[in-house]
Amino acid sequence: MRSFVFNGQPSRVVFGAGSLAHLEREVQHLGAKRALVLCTPEQLPLAEVIAQRLGAHAAGIYPKAVMHVPVETANAAIEEARRVNADCALAVGGGSTTGLGKAIALQSGMPILAIPTTYAGSEMTPIWGMTENGLKKTGRDPRVLPRTVIYDPELTVSLPAGLTITSGMNAIAHAAEGLYAQDSNPVMDLMAEEGIRALASALPKLRANPADIDARGDALYGAWLCGSVLGNVGMALHHKLCHTLGGTLNLPHAEAHTVVLPHAIAFNAAAAPQAMQKISRALQGAPAALGLYHLAKDNGAPTALRDLGMTAADVDRVAQIAIQNPYWNPRPIVPEALPALRELLQRAWEGAPPVE
């Protein structure tokens, strides 16, 4: 057994279909009296249901969460939290909404109660992100880790079919890269493999029937595990590439993860054979990179970056950015790796299958 450090991250998870019924109990458990409910404009009806349930314990609704937490949105939300005298940020929605809650918590230290409705996993991490002048800054701070998370699969039934698959692949990406993280440990490996298994078995069922509540539960359970891996260990090439594709080219988050993942895994396959074995086991024996490619493609997800708005000229640009500011990756990201990286991006751009 190799040596490792394990950091348990303190959060309370309330899981199960219908668990929104425990909302009032959970707000009380946090000792909160005035929760500011955060959501995107699209999810305002759900936020209203939640605010209504909380009655006097709801300080108001702030329905302006948008992708990548622009600093202006964050500042306005912080101001609103102050104005209404909130003592808890209640984030109901995907990673964008949780991200807004984190911006408030970072500034004020108030607890976050997260009710995730996608599989992005932000609710399980102490990682915050904010965008200023087109540049996304990220950081780690224990204050932004949600104190309580209510996972209710019933709230994910409305997740559109396309986003169900791409958000699930986004979650799998955290676990897949966690399996070859330098600072990983056997407990995270268990969570990563089980998270991939749960999502990979649920996604085809959800493609066939988005209202399959058992499959929704499996997918959300997988998202929890994969998000925990993201929150506990370092990420590598795949997440770096997606950060550039999102931050520099503004490609949609979950879709970009979906397209790049099989190619990043193929790029790292020879350098991380044990991780590949675990991914393969979670995919019921399919080869890791190709299995992930088919999991996405066969369930109707995009497979080509060009279909997400990336131009042919961007291939070189992103490859160049990926090689700058070296970071750890099982296959070293050194100048000699540039042609292989370029090839990876070219195949992802075209939608070709991954090549190990």
Residue selected from 120, 165, 318, 322 as contacting ligand NAD according to rule CB under 6 A: 120
- Could you tell me the smallest distance in angstroms from the CB atom of residue 312 to ligand NAD? 25
Query: Counting contacts by CB under 6 A, is residue 147 touching ligand NAD?
Result: no
Query: Counting contacts by CB under 6 A, is residue 97 touching ligand NAD?
Result: yes
Helix/strand/coil for 186: helix
- Could you tell me the smallest distance in angstroms from the CB atom of residue 226 to ligand NAD? 10
Rounded to whole angstroms, the Cα distance separating 259 from 308 reads 9
Residue selected from 37, 127, 196, 345 as contacting ligand NAD according to rule CB under 6 A: 127
The number of beta carbons lying within 10 Å of the beta carbon of residue 74 is 22
Task: Name the residue with tokens 């986003």.
Answer: 163
Query: Counting contacts by CB under 6 A, is residue 67 touching ligand NAD?
Result: yes
Nearer to ligand NAD, 99 or 287 (CB): 99
Query: Counting contacts by CB under 6 A, is residue 195 touching ligand NAD?
Result: no
Q: Helix crossing, 186-208 with 288-297: angle to 10°?
A: 30
- DSSP strand pairing (88-93 vs 58-62): unpaired
Reduced DSSP (H G I as helix, E B as strand, rest coil) percent helix, strand, coil of the chain, to 5? 60, 10, 30
Q: By the 8 A CB rule, do 144 and 127 touch?
A: yes
Rounded to whole angstroms, the Cα distance separating 83 from 165 reads 39
Nearer to ligand NAD, 99 or 262 (CB): 99
- Could you tell me the smallest distance in angstroms from the CB atom of residue 30 to ligand NAD? 21
Query: Counting contacts by CB under 6 A, is residue 95 touching ligand NAD?
Result: yes
Q: By the 8 A CB rule, do 256 and 282 touch?
A: no
Nearer to ligand NAD, 57 or 253 (CB): 253
Query: Counting contacts by CB under 6 A, is residue 250 touching ligand NAD?
Result: no
Nearer to ligand NAD, 158 or 248 (CB): 158
Nearer to ligand NAD, 97 or 329 (CB): 97
What CA–CA distances, in Å, run from 87 to 24, 36, 112, 122, 332?
15, 8, 9, 21, 45
Nearest-10 Cα torsion for 161, 165, 170, 172: 150
Binding region for ligand NAD (CB under 6 A) out of 37-45, 215-223, 282-290, 333-341: 37-45
Rounded to whole angstroms, the Cα distance separating 198 from 201 reads 5
- Could you tell me the smallest distance in angstroms from the CB atom of residue 338 to ligand NAD? 26
Query: Counting contacts by CB under 6 A, is residue 99 touching ligand NAD?
Result: yes
Rounded to whole angstroms, the Cα distance separating 271 from 72 reads 42
The number of beta carbons lying within 10 Å of the beta carbon of residue 119 is 32
Binding region for ligand NAD (CB under 6 A) out of 89-97, 186-194, 271-279, 328-336: 89-97
Query: Counting contacts by CB under 6 A, is residue 42 touching ligand NAD?
Result: yes
Nearer to ligand NAD, 67 or 84 (CB): 67
Residue 37: what residue type?
A: V
Query: Counting contacts by CB under 6 A, is residue 167 touching ligand NAD?
Result: yes
Binding region for ligand NAD (CB under 6 A) out of 25-33, 113-121, 307-315, 345-353: 113-121
Rounded to whole angstroms, the Cα distance separating 46 from 100 reads 17
Q: By the 8 A CB rule, do 262 and 287 touch?
A: no
Binding region for ligand NAD (CB under 6 A) out of 16-24, 40-48, 313-321, 343-351: 40-48
Query: Counting contacts by CB under 6 A, is residue 158 touching ligand NAD?
Result: yes
For ligand NAD, the nearest residue by Cβ is 95
Query: Counting contacts by CB under 6 A, is residue 132 touching ligand NAD?
Result: no
Rg (CA), the chain: 20
Contact set with ligand NAD (CB under 6 A): 40, 42-43, 67-68, 93-97, 99, 117-118, 120-122, 125, 127, 129, 155-156, 158-159, 163, 167, 230, 253-254
